[in-house]
Amino acid sequence: MLTSAHPLQRRTIRDSSGTVWQIAELDARDVPGALGPNCLIFDSQAICRRYWRYPVDWFELSDVRLLNLMNQSRQSLG
């Protein structure tokens, strides 16, 4: 869960299967091996995903677009 870091911004959304996602942009300057100064974390009860590349306006995206971003980024990594 996102309890130890202090988020710059945070949102909560629910996907079509009912999974609740906590999404937060975090300061990553103290993260070993960080690929940038900030990262975007998608955290559910069962999964935590970290993204280094994401739109600066992620907080303004609709829930559907934000979930699409998570899924597209995941597919491009695989």
* pLDDT, mean of residues 32-51: 93
* pLDDT tens-digit readout, 13-40: 999 999 999 999 999 988 899 999 999 9
In the chain, alpha helices (H): 63-77
What tokens were used for 50? 């970290």
Cα four-point dihedral sign 20, 31, 33, 55 = positive
Please state the domain extents for the chain: 7-77
**Structure pTM?**
0.80
- Note the pLDDT of residue 8: 75
The pLDDT confidence band at residue 66, using thresholds 50, 70 and 90, is very high
- Note the pLDDT of residue 78: 41
